[in-house]
Structure 1
Amino acid sequence: MEKKFTLITGASMGIGRALAEECAQRGRNILMVALEGPELQTAATEIAQKYQVEVHPLGIDLTAPDAPLQVYNWSQENGYSVDMLINNAGFGKGDIMERVPLVVYQTMLRLNNQVPFELTYHFLPHLKQQKQAYILNTSSMEGLMPMPFKAAYTSTKHFVTAFSLSLREELADTSISVSTLCPGPVVTNEDGLKRIQRSGPKAKLVVMFPHQVAPIAINGLLRGKRIIIPGVVNQIMILLNNVLPLALRMRMLRKIGSAIIPKKEV
Protein backbone atom coordinates (compact mmCIF):
# COMPACT_ATOMS: atom_id res chain seq x y z
CA MET A 1 0.00 0.00 0.00
CA GLU A 2 1.29 3.46 -0.93
CA LYS A 3 2.39 5.49 2.05
CA LYS A 4 0.46 8.68 2.66
CA PHE A 5 1.86 11.85 4.17
CA THR A 6 0.63 14.96 5.93
CA LEU A 7 2.55 18.06 4.85
CA ILE A 8 2.67 20.81 7.45
CA THR A 9 4.25 24.25 7.04
CA GLY A 10 5.61 26.14 10.02
CA ALA A 11 6.03 22.72 11.58
CA SER A 12 9.09 23.21 13.77
CA MET A 13 7.39 25.00 16.66
CA GLY A 14 4.13 26.33 18.05
CA ILE A 15 0.85 25.17 16.53
CA GLY A 16 2.68 23.60 13.59
CA ARG A 17 4.73 21.27 15.75
CA ALA A 18 1.68 20.42 17.84
CA LEU A 19 -0.22 19.53 14.67
CA ALA A 20 2.68 17.37 13.52
CA GLU A 21 2.69 15.52 16.83
CA GLU A 22 -1.08 15.08 16.75
CA CYS A 23 -0.99 13.61 13.25
CA ALA A 24 1.97 11.38 14.09
CA GLN A 25 0.17 10.13 17.18
CA ARG A 26 -2.60 8.98 14.85
CA GLY A 27 -0.09 7.02 12.81
CA ARG A 28 0.30 9.50 9.97
CA ASN A 29 3.65 10.05 8.24
CA ILE A 30 4.76 13.67 8.30
CA LEU A 31 6.49 16.11 5.97
CA MET A 32 7.69 19.00 8.14
CA VAL A 33 8.38 22.25 6.29
CA ALA A 34 9.90 25.21 8.12
CA LEU A 35 12.91 27.48 8.20
CA GLU A 36 16.20 25.59 8.27
CA GLY A 37 17.57 25.33 11.78
CA PRO A 38 18.13 23.05 14.75
CA GLU A 39 14.49 23.36 15.86
CA LEU A 40 13.29 21.66 12.66
CA GLN A 41 15.78 18.81 12.76
CA THR A 42 15.22 18.23 16.48
CA ALA A 43 11.44 18.22 16.12
CA ALA A 44 11.55 15.79 13.19
CA THR A 45 13.85 13.38 15.03
CA GLU A 46 11.85 13.49 18.26
CA ILE A 47 8.50 12.93 16.55
CA ALA A 48 9.82 10.07 14.41
CA GLN A 49 11.31 8.31 17.42
CA LYS A 50 8.35 8.88 19.72
CA TYR A 51 5.58 7.83 17.33
CA GLN A 52 7.45 5.44 15.01
CA VAL A 53 6.29 7.10 11.81
CA GLU A 54 8.19 8.48 8.83
CA VAL A 55 9.10 12.12 9.29
CA HIS A 56 10.94 14.05 6.59
CA PRO A 57 11.97 17.67 7.24
CA LEU A 58 12.53 20.32 4.59
CA GLY A 59 14.31 23.49 5.67
CA ILE A 60 13.30 26.35 3.42
CA ASP A 61 12.37 30.04 3.53
CA LEU A 62 8.81 29.93 2.25
CA THR A 63 8.86 33.65 1.46
CA ALA A 64 11.59 33.15 -1.15
CA PRO A 65 10.52 33.28 -4.81
CA ASP A 66 9.13 29.95 -6.05
CA ALA A 67 9.55 28.37 -2.59
CA PRO A 68 6.05 26.80 -2.67
CA LEU A 69 6.87 25.22 -6.04
CA GLN A 70 10.14 23.93 -4.60
CA VAL A 71 8.20 22.29 -1.76
CA TYR A 72 5.86 20.60 -4.23
CA ASN A 73 8.73 19.43 -6.43
CA TRP A 74 10.57 18.06 -3.37
CA SER A 75 7.54 15.97 -2.42
CA GLN A 76 7.09 14.65 -5.95
CA GLU A 77 10.77 13.89 -6.58
CA ASN A 78 10.89 11.85 -3.37
CA GLY A 79 7.64 10.01 -4.05
CA TYR A 80 5.79 11.39 -1.03
CA SER A 81 2.08 10.92 -1.63
CA VAL A 82 0.38 13.83 0.17
CA ASP A 83 -3.27 13.40 1.12
CA MET A 84 -3.36 16.07 3.84
CA LEU A 85 -2.02 19.59 3.30
CA ILE A 86 -1.83 21.85 6.34
CA ASN A 87 -0.98 25.46 5.52
CA ASN A 88 0.02 26.68 8.96
CA ALA A 89 3.07 28.94 8.52
CA GLY A 90 2.45 32.59 9.28
CA PHE A 91 3.09 35.39 11.72
CA GLY A 92 1.47 38.55 13.04
CA LYS A 93 2.47 41.97 14.27
CA GLY A 94 0.33 44.29 16.33
CA ASP A 95 1.03 48.02 16.59
CA ILE A 96 -0.03 51.39 15.24
CA MET A 97 0.17 50.77 11.53
CA GLU A 98 2.90 53.22 10.43
CA ARG A 99 5.25 52.24 13.24
CA VAL A 100 5.96 48.87 11.66
CA PRO A 101 8.49 48.82 8.78
CA LEU A 102 6.86 48.22 5.42
CA VAL A 103 9.13 45.24 4.75
CA VAL A 104 7.58 43.45 7.74
CA TYR A 105 4.11 43.86 6.24
CA GLN A 106 5.35 42.72 2.84
CA THR A 107 6.82 39.57 4.37
CA MET A 108 3.62 38.98 6.33
CA LEU A 109 1.47 39.25 3.22
CA ARG A 110 3.77 36.87 1.39
CA LEU A 111 3.89 34.23 4.12
CA ASN A 112 0.30 34.46 5.34
CA ASN A 113 -1.42 34.72 1.94
CA GLN A 114 0.65 34.06 -1.16
CA VAL A 115 2.43 31.01 0.23
CA PRO A 116 -0.67 29.00 1.25
CA PHE A 117 -2.41 30.03 -1.97
CA GLU A 118 0.52 28.87 -4.12
CA LEU A 119 1.05 25.65 -2.18
CA THR A 120 -2.61 24.79 -2.55
CA TYR A 121 -2.47 25.63 -6.25
CA HIS A 122 0.49 23.33 -6.83
CA PHE A 123 -0.84 20.43 -4.74
CA LEU A 124 -4.48 20.46 -5.93
CA PRO A 125 -4.02 18.13 -8.94
CA HIS A 126 -2.13 15.68 -6.72
CA LEU A 127 -4.74 15.88 -3.96
CA LYS A 128 -7.55 15.24 -6.43
CA GLN A 129 -5.94 11.91 -7.26
CA GLN A 130 -6.34 10.73 -3.66
CA LYS A 131 -9.31 8.64 -2.55
CA GLN A 132 -9.80 11.15 0.27
CA ALA A 133 -7.79 14.30 0.85
CA TYR A 134 -7.82 17.21 3.25
CA ILE A 135 -6.66 20.83 3.30
CA LEU A 136 -6.43 22.72 6.58
CA ASN A 137 -5.62 26.43 6.45
CA THR A 138 -4.68 28.12 9.71
CA SER A 139 -6.52 31.41 10.01
CA SER A 140 -7.47 33.06 13.30
CA MET A 141 -10.46 34.36 15.19
CA GLU A 142 -9.28 37.65 13.73
CA GLY A 143 -10.03 36.15 10.35
CA LEU A 144 -13.68 36.47 11.36
CA MET A 145 -13.45 39.98 12.81
CA PRO A 146 -11.45 43.10 11.80
CA MET A 147 -9.09 43.90 14.67
CA PRO A 148 -7.82 47.51 15.02
CA PHE A 149 -4.08 47.88 15.72
CA LYS A 150 -3.53 44.64 13.81
CA ALA A 151 -4.84 45.90 10.49
CA ALA A 152 -2.38 44.02 8.29
CA TYR A 153 -2.47 40.75 10.20
CA THR A 154 -6.23 40.61 10.55
CA SER A 155 -6.57 41.37 6.83
CA THR A 156 -4.28 38.47 5.94
CA LYS A 157 -6.38 36.15 8.06
CA HIS A 158 -9.61 37.40 6.47
CA PHE A 159 -8.04 36.39 3.16
CA VAL A 160 -7.22 32.91 4.48
CA THR A 161 -10.77 32.43 5.75
CA ALA A 162 -12.42 33.67 2.54
CA PHE A 163 -10.05 31.65 0.36
CA SER A 164 -10.73 28.49 2.35
CA LEU A 165 -14.51 28.87 2.36
CA SER A 166 -14.61 29.65 -1.34
CA LEU A 167 -12.32 26.79 -2.29
CA ARG A 168 -14.29 24.38 -0.12
CA GLU A 169 -17.42 25.03 -2.16
CA GLU A 170 -15.49 24.84 -5.42
CA LEU A 171 -14.23 21.38 -4.40
CA ALA A 172 -17.55 20.18 -2.98
CA ASP A 173 -17.93 17.51 -5.67
CA THR A 174 -14.37 16.21 -5.30
CA SER A 175 -12.60 14.01 -2.75
CA ILE A 176 -11.01 17.05 -1.08
CA SER A 177 -12.37 18.55 2.13
CA VAL A 178 -11.23 22.06 3.08
CA SER A 179 -11.35 23.36 6.65
CA THR A 180 -10.30 26.61 8.28
CA LEU A 181 -8.73 26.69 11.74
CA CYS A 182 -9.61 29.90 13.61
CA PRO A 183 -7.98 29.81 17.05
CA GLY A 184 -8.04 32.64 19.52
CA PRO A 185 -4.88 33.72 21.38
CA VAL A 186 -2.38 30.87 21.45
CA VAL A 187 0.83 31.02 23.48
CA THR A 188 3.55 29.96 21.03
CA ASN A 189 6.47 32.13 22.17
CA GLU A 190 7.56 34.66 24.80
CA ASP A 191 6.39 37.67 22.77
CA GLY A 192 2.93 36.17 22.45
CA LEU A 193 2.80 35.58 26.18
CA LYS A 194 3.72 39.22 26.83
CA ARG A 195 0.94 40.46 24.51
CA ILE A 196 -1.59 38.30 26.28
CA GLN A 197 -0.39 39.50 29.66
CA ARG A 198 -0.87 43.12 28.51
CA SER A 199 -4.46 42.26 27.61
CA GLY A 200 -5.29 41.70 31.27
CA PRO A 201 -6.88 38.86 33.26
CA LYS A 202 -9.80 38.44 30.83
CA ALA A 203 -7.36 37.16 28.22
CA LYS A 204 -6.93 34.01 30.32
CA LEU A 205 -10.49 33.07 29.43
CA VAL A 206 -9.64 32.67 25.75
CA VAL A 207 -5.93 31.83 25.70
CA MET A 208 -4.92 28.30 24.73
CA PHE A 209 -1.72 26.36 24.16
CA PRO A 210 -0.71 24.57 20.95
CA HIS A 211 -1.17 21.09 22.44
CA GLN A 212 -4.79 22.01 23.23
CA VAL A 213 -5.52 23.39 19.78
CA ALA A 214 -4.00 20.55 17.75
CA PRO A 215 -6.41 17.68 18.58
CA ILE A 216 -9.41 19.97 18.12
CA ALA A 217 -8.04 21.02 14.74
CA ILE A 218 -7.38 17.51 13.43
CA ASN A 219 -10.67 16.14 14.76
CA GLY A 220 -12.52 18.97 13.05
CA LEU A 221 -10.58 18.47 9.83
CA LEU A 222 -11.33 14.73 9.68
CA ARG A 223 -14.99 15.40 10.40
CA GLY A 224 -15.11 17.85 7.52
CA LYS A 225 -15.94 20.93 9.57
CA ARG A 226 -16.03 24.16 7.62
CA ILE A 227 -14.65 26.42 10.37
CA ILE A 228 -12.92 25.12 13.49
CA ILE A 229 -12.90 27.48 16.50
CA PRO A 230 -11.14 25.92 19.52
CA GLY A 231 -12.59 26.86 22.91
CA VAL A 232 -16.18 27.40 24.02
CA VAL A 233 -15.59 31.01 25.10
CA ASN A 234 -14.07 31.79 21.71
CA GLN A 235 -17.08 30.28 19.96
CA ILE A 236 -19.43 32.43 22.05
CA MET A 237 -17.37 35.54 21.25
CA ILE A 238 -17.72 34.89 17.53
CA LEU A 239 -21.47 34.39 17.86
CA LEU A 240 -21.80 37.69 19.73
CA ASN A 241 -19.57 39.43 17.22
CA ASN A 242 -21.89 38.33 14.42
CA VAL A 243 -25.03 39.77 15.99
CA LEU A 244 -23.77 43.08 17.37
CA PRO A 245 -24.28 46.28 15.31
CA LEU A 246 -21.15 47.12 13.33
CA ALA A 247 -20.42 50.42 15.09
CA LEU A 248 -20.64 48.83 18.55
CA ARG A 249 -18.65 45.82 17.41
CA MET A 250 -15.82 48.01 16.09
CA ARG A 251 -15.67 50.09 19.28
CA MET A 252 -15.32 46.91 21.30
CA LEU A 253 -12.67 45.52 18.96
CA ARG A 254 -10.76 48.80 19.14
CA LYS A 255 -10.64 48.52 22.92
CA ILE A 256 -9.44 44.92 22.69
CA GLY A 257 -6.91 45.73 19.98
CA SER A 258 -5.44 48.69 21.83
CA ALA A 259 -4.49 46.37 24.69
CA ILE A 260 -1.98 44.48 22.55
CA ILE A 261 0.42 47.43 22.33
CA PRO A 262 2.06 49.38 25.17
CA LYS A 263 -0.27 52.02 26.57
CA LYS A 264 2.19 54.82 25.91
CA GLU A 265 2.03 54.07 22.16
CA VAL A 266 -1.73 54.24 21.79
Structure 2
Amino acid sequence: MEKHYTLITGASMGIGRALAEECAKRGRNVLLVALDGPELHTAAQEIVQKHGVEAHAFGLDLTATDAPLKVYTWCQENGYSVDMLINNAGFGLGDILDRVPIGVYQKMLRLNNQVMFEMTYHFLPQLKQLDKAYILNSSSMEGLMPMPFKAAYTATKHFVTAFSLSLREELAETGVSVSALCPGPVVTNEDGLKRIQRSGRKAKLVVMYPYQVAPIAINGLLKGKRIIIPGVMNQIMILVNNGLPLALRMKLLRKIGAAVIPKET
Protein backbone atom coordinates (compact mmCIF):
# COMPACT_ATOMS: atom_id res chain seq x y z
CA MET A 1 0.00 0.00 0.00
CA GLU A 2 1.43 3.38 -1.01
CA LYS A 3 2.40 5.68 1.83
CA HIS A 4 0.82 9.15 1.72
CA TYR A 5 1.76 12.48 3.24
CA THR A 6 0.17 15.77 4.23
CA LEU A 7 2.21 18.76 3.06
CA ILE A 8 1.83 21.99 5.05
CA THR A 9 3.43 25.30 4.11
CA GLY A 10 4.22 27.83 6.82
CA ALA A 11 4.45 24.84 9.16
CA SER A 12 7.10 25.98 11.64
CA MET A 13 4.79 28.09 13.83
CA GLY A 14 1.28 29.43 14.34
CA ILE A 15 -1.65 27.83 12.53
CA GLY A 16 0.66 25.86 10.22
CA ARG A 17 2.43 24.19 13.14
CA ALA A 18 -0.92 23.43 14.79
CA LEU A 19 -2.26 21.91 11.55
CA ALA A 20 0.84 19.72 11.28
CA GLU A 21 0.38 18.57 14.87
CA GLU A 22 -3.30 17.84 14.27
CA CYS A 23 -2.58 15.75 11.17
CA ALA A 24 0.18 13.84 12.95
CA LYS A 25 -2.14 13.23 15.90
CA ARG A 26 -4.48 11.50 13.45
CA GLY A 27 -1.67 9.24 12.28
CA ARG A 28 -0.82 11.13 9.10
CA ASN A 29 2.77 11.49 7.90
CA VAL A 30 3.62 15.16 7.43
CA LEU A 31 5.91 17.27 5.28
CA LEU A 32 6.75 20.63 6.84
CA VAL A 33 7.73 23.49 4.54
CA ALA A 34 8.77 26.90 5.82
CA LEU A 35 11.73 29.26 6.06
CA ASP A 36 14.81 27.30 7.07
CA GLY A 37 15.63 27.64 10.73
CA PRO A 38 15.66 25.84 14.08
CA GLU A 39 11.88 26.24 14.56
CA LEU A 40 11.17 24.19 11.43
CA HIS A 41 13.48 21.30 12.25
CA THR A 42 12.48 21.29 15.92
CA ALA A 43 8.83 21.05 14.87
CA ALA A 44 9.55 17.99 12.71
CA GLN A 45 11.57 16.29 15.46
CA GLU A 46 8.92 16.92 18.11
CA ILE A 47 6.15 15.58 15.88
CA VAL A 48 8.08 12.33 15.30
CA GLN A 49 8.71 11.94 19.03
CA LYS A 50 5.14 12.73 20.11
CA HIS A 51 3.11 10.99 17.43
CA GLY A 52 5.33 8.30 15.92
CA VAL A 53 4.69 9.33 12.33
CA GLU A 54 7.09 10.45 9.64
CA ALA A 55 7.82 14.18 9.63
CA HIS A 56 10.21 15.63 7.09
CA ALA A 57 11.22 19.30 6.89
CA PHE A 58 12.15 21.33 3.83
CA GLY A 59 13.44 24.82 4.54
CA LEU A 60 13.33 27.52 1.89
CA ASP A 61 11.96 30.97 1.14
CA LEU A 62 8.68 30.27 -0.64
CA THR A 63 8.68 33.75 -2.17
CA ALA A 64 11.85 32.97 -4.13
CA THR A 65 11.52 32.28 -7.85
CA ASP A 66 10.40 28.70 -8.57
CA ALA A 67 10.29 27.84 -4.84
CA PRO A 68 6.95 25.95 -5.16
CA LEU A 69 8.42 23.91 -8.02
CA LYS A 70 11.41 23.08 -5.79
CA VAL A 71 9.02 21.80 -3.12
CA TYR A 72 7.28 19.58 -5.69
CA THR A 73 10.63 18.30 -7.00
CA TRP A 74 11.76 17.54 -3.44
CA CYS A 75 8.66 15.39 -2.95
CA GLN A 76 9.14 13.61 -6.26
CA GLU A 77 12.81 12.87 -5.63
CA ASN A 78 12.11 11.45 -2.18
CA GLY A 79 9.02 9.46 -3.11
CA TYR A 80 6.65 11.50 -0.95
CA SER A 81 3.15 10.94 -2.34
CA VAL A 82 1.05 13.91 -1.21
CA ASP A 83 -2.67 13.28 -0.80
CA MET A 84 -3.40 16.34 1.34
CA LEU A 85 -2.00 19.75 0.39
CA ILE A 86 -2.37 22.54 2.95
CA ASN A 87 -1.45 25.95 1.56
CA ASN A 88 -1.09 27.84 4.81
CA ALA A 89 1.92 30.13 4.33
CA GLY A 90 1.05 33.81 4.31
CA PHE A 91 1.06 37.00 6.32
CA GLY A 92 -0.96 40.17 6.73
CA LEU A 93 -0.88 43.65 8.16
CA GLY A 94 -3.21 46.54 8.74
CA ASP A 95 -2.39 50.17 8.03
CA ILE A 96 -3.19 53.08 5.77
CA LEU A 97 -2.30 51.80 2.32
CA ASP A 98 0.48 54.19 1.30
CA ARG A 99 2.12 54.18 4.71
CA VAL A 100 3.65 50.76 4.03
CA PRO A 101 6.61 50.25 1.63
CA ILE A 102 5.46 48.69 -1.64
CA GLY A 103 8.01 45.90 -1.27
CA VAL A 104 6.09 44.58 1.74
CA TYR A 105 2.92 44.39 -0.35
CA GLN A 106 4.73 42.71 -3.21
CA LYS A 107 5.98 40.01 -0.86
CA MET A 108 2.49 39.59 0.60
CA LEU A 109 0.90 39.19 -2.84
CA ARG A 110 3.59 36.70 -3.79
CA LEU A 111 3.26 34.56 -0.66
CA ASN A 112 -0.50 34.75 -0.10
CA ASN A 113 -1.53 34.27 -3.72
CA GLN A 114 1.14 33.29 -6.23
CA VAL A 115 2.77 30.69 -4.01
CA MET A 116 -0.58 29.12 -3.15
CA PHE A 117 -1.52 29.04 -6.83
CA GLU A 118 1.80 27.56 -7.95
CA MET A 119 1.82 24.93 -5.20
CA THR A 120 -1.67 23.85 -6.24
CA TYR A 121 -0.76 23.88 -9.92
CA HIS A 122 2.30 21.66 -9.48
CA PHE A 123 0.66 19.10 -7.17
CA LEU A 124 -2.76 18.94 -8.82
CA PRO A 125 -1.99 16.33 -11.52
CA GLN A 126 -0.71 13.94 -8.83
CA LEU A 127 -3.68 14.63 -6.55
CA LYS A 128 -6.14 13.94 -9.37
CA GLN A 129 -4.69 10.46 -9.85
CA LEU A 130 -5.76 9.46 -6.33
CA ASP A 131 -9.17 8.09 -5.35
CA LYS A 132 -9.38 10.71 -2.60
CA ALA A 133 -7.28 13.79 -2.02
CA TYR A 134 -7.64 17.15 -0.29
CA ILE A 135 -6.54 20.75 -0.70
CA LEU A 136 -6.93 23.24 2.16
CA ASN A 137 -6.18 26.89 1.43
CA SER A 138 -5.81 29.25 4.37
CA SER A 139 -7.96 32.31 3.79
CA SER A 140 -9.56 34.46 6.49
CA MET A 141 -12.90 35.90 7.54
CA GLU A 142 -11.56 38.94 5.70
CA GLY A 143 -11.64 36.78 2.59
CA LEU A 144 -15.43 36.99 2.94
CA MET A 145 -15.65 40.73 3.67
CA PRO A 146 -13.63 43.71 2.38
CA MET A 147 -11.85 45.23 5.39
CA PRO A 148 -10.81 48.91 5.18
CA PHE A 149 -7.28 49.69 6.36
CA LYS A 150 -6.27 46.15 5.36
CA ALA A 151 -7.02 46.63 1.67
CA ALA A 152 -4.11 44.62 0.28
CA TYR A 153 -4.39 41.79 2.80
CA THR A 154 -8.15 41.41 2.48
CA ALA A 155 -7.79 41.41 -1.31
CA THR A 156 -5.28 38.55 -1.14
CA LYS A 157 -7.68 36.56 1.01
CA HIS A 158 -10.60 37.23 -1.34
CA PHE A 159 -8.39 35.73 -4.05
CA VAL A 160 -7.75 32.63 -1.91
CA THR A 161 -11.45 32.13 -1.21
CA ALA A 162 -12.57 32.68 -4.81
CA PHE A 163 -9.81 30.44 -6.16
CA SER A 164 -10.73 27.66 -3.73
CA LEU A 165 -14.45 27.78 -4.50
CA SER A 166 -13.89 27.93 -8.24
CA LEU A 167 -11.33 25.12 -8.29
CA ARG A 168 -13.56 22.97 -6.10
CA GLU A 169 -16.30 23.05 -8.72
CA GLU A 170 -13.80 22.44 -11.51
CA LEU A 171 -12.71 19.27 -9.69
CA ALA A 172 -16.22 18.11 -8.82
CA GLU A 173 -15.92 14.99 -11.02
CA THR A 174 -12.57 14.00 -9.48
CA GLY A 175 -11.61 12.70 -6.05
CA VAL A 176 -10.03 16.03 -5.04
CA SER A 177 -11.92 18.09 -2.46
CA VAL A 178 -10.98 21.77 -2.01
CA SER A 179 -11.78 23.82 1.11
CA ALA A 180 -11.03 27.36 2.23
CA LEU A 181 -10.22 27.95 5.90
CA CYS A 182 -11.59 31.34 7.01
CA PRO A 183 -10.73 31.95 10.67
CA GLY A 184 -11.31 35.19 12.51
CA PRO A 185 -8.59 36.76 14.69
CA VAL A 186 -6.01 34.13 15.66
CA VAL A 187 -3.18 34.84 18.08
CA THR A 188 -0.06 33.52 16.34
CA ASN A 189 2.54 36.01 17.58
CA GLU A 190 3.03 39.01 19.84
CA ASP A 191 2.13 41.54 17.14
CA GLY A 192 -1.17 39.80 16.57
CA LEU A 193 -1.91 39.85 20.28
CA LYS A 194 -1.24 43.61 20.38
CA ARG A 195 -3.63 44.22 17.45
CA ILE A 196 -6.37 42.28 19.21
CA GLN A 197 -5.76 44.17 22.45
CA ARG A 198 -6.15 47.46 20.54
CA SER A 199 -9.52 46.25 19.29
CA GLY A 200 -10.95 46.08 22.80
CA ARG A 201 -13.15 43.56 24.59
CA LYS A 202 -15.35 42.76 21.58
CA ALA A 203 -12.38 41.34 19.69
CA LYS A 204 -11.68 38.95 22.55
CA LEU A 205 -15.09 37.34 21.98
CA VAL A 206 -14.00 36.04 18.58
CA VAL A 207 -10.26 35.53 19.05
CA MET A 208 -8.95 31.98 18.88
CA TYR A 209 -5.62 30.20 19.20
CA PRO A 210 -4.00 27.92 16.62
CA TYR A 211 -4.58 24.79 18.70
CA GLN A 212 -8.33 25.57 18.64
CA VAL A 213 -8.46 26.28 14.92
CA ALA A 214 -6.53 23.21 13.75
CA PRO A 215 -8.97 20.40 14.67
CA ILE A 216 -11.91 22.38 13.28
CA ALA A 217 -9.98 22.93 10.06
CA ILE A 218 -9.04 19.28 9.55
CA ASN A 219 -12.51 18.04 10.50
CA GLY A 220 -14.06 20.43 7.99
CA LEU A 221 -11.57 19.44 5.31
CA LEU A 222 -12.23 15.72 5.74
CA LYS A 223 -16.00 16.36 5.68
CA GLY A 224 -15.61 18.19 2.38
CA LYS A 225 -16.79 21.61 3.53
CA ARG A 226 -16.41 24.47 1.06
CA ILE A 227 -15.82 27.18 3.65
CA ILE A 228 -14.60 26.43 7.16
CA ILE A 229 -15.23 29.23 9.69
CA PRO A 230 -13.99 28.28 13.17
CA GLY A 231 -16.04 29.66 16.06
CA VAL A 232 -19.79 30.16 16.42
CA MET A 233 -19.45 33.92 16.97
CA ASN A 234 -17.45 34.25 13.77
CA GLN A 235 -20.09 32.32 11.84
CA ILE A 236 -22.80 34.61 13.22
CA MET A 237 -20.76 37.70 12.29
CA ILE A 238 -20.49 36.55 8.68
CA LEU A 239 -24.23 35.87 8.47
CA VAL A 240 -25.08 39.30 9.94
CA ASN A 241 -22.54 41.04 7.72
CA ASN A 242 -23.89 39.40 4.57
CA GLY A 243 -27.43 40.48 5.46
CA LEU A 244 -26.65 44.19 5.72
CA PRO A 245 -26.89 46.73 2.88
CA LEU A 246 -23.46 47.32 1.33
CA ALA A 247 -23.16 50.97 2.45
CA LEU A 248 -23.93 50.11 6.08
CA ARG A 249 -21.70 47.03 5.95
CA MET A 250 -18.73 49.07 4.73
CA LYS A 251 -19.32 51.78 7.34
CA LEU A 252 -19.20 49.17 10.12
CA LEU A 253 -16.15 47.46 8.63
CA ARG A 254 -14.38 50.82 8.37
CA LYS A 255 -14.94 51.38 12.08
CA ILE A 256 -13.57 47.93 12.89
CA GLY A 257 -10.56 48.38 10.61
CA ALA A 258 -9.73 51.84 11.94
CA ALA A 259 -9.54 50.48 15.48
CA VAL A 260 -6.58 48.24 14.75
CA ILE A 261 -4.30 50.39 12.60
CA PRO A 262 -1.05 51.43 14.27
CA LYS A 263 -0.80 55.02 15.46
CA GLU A 264 1.73 57.24 13.67
CA THR A 265 4.87 57.91 15.66
Please confirm whether the aligned pair reaches a TM-score higher than 0.5, indicating the same fold. yes
| Structure 1 moving runs of 4+ over 4 Å | none
Give the 3-state SS of the residue equivalent to 2:33 in structure 1: strand
Question: Does 1:53 find its partner at 2:47?
Answer: no
Q: Distance in 1 between matches of 2:162 and 2:223?
A: 20
Question: Does 1:44 find its partner at 2:44?
Answer: yes
Match of 1:159 in 2: 159
Q: Which runs of 5+ in 1 are unaligned?
A: none
Match of 1:189 in 2: 189
Match of 1:217 in 2: 217
Match of 1:68 in 2: 68
Calculate the TM-score normalised by the size of structure 2: 0.99
Q: Distance in 2 between matches of 1:54 and 1:41?
A: 13
Q: Distance in 2 between matches of 1:86 and 1:230?
A: 17
Match of 1:110 in 2: 110
State the AA in 1 paired with 2:109: L
- Provide the alpha-carbon RMSD of the alignment: 0.9
Shift in Å, 1:261:
1.4
Match of 1:18 in 2: 18
Match of 1:254 in 2: 254
Give CA-to-partner distance per residue, 1:83-127, whole Å, 9 cap, x none: 000000000011000010000000000000000000000000000
1:86-235 to 2 correspondences below 5 Å = 86-235=86-235
Q: Distance in 2 between matches of 1:57 and 1:87?
A: 15
Q: Distance in 2 between matches of 1:60 and 1:192?
A: 24
Q: Distance in 2 between matches of 1:260 and 1:11?
A: 26
Q: Distance in 1 between matches of 2:259 and 2:194?
A: 11
Match of 1:6 in 2: 6
Give percent identity, aligned residues only: 82
Calculate the TM-score normalised by the size of structure 1: 0.99
Shift in Å, 1:67:
0.3
Shift in Å, 1:168:
0.2
Q: Which runs of 5+ in 2 are unaligned?
A: none
Q: Distance in 1 between matches of 2:130 and 2:119?
A: 17
Give CA-to-partner distance per residue, 1:185-207, whole Å, 9 cap, x none: 00000000000000001001100
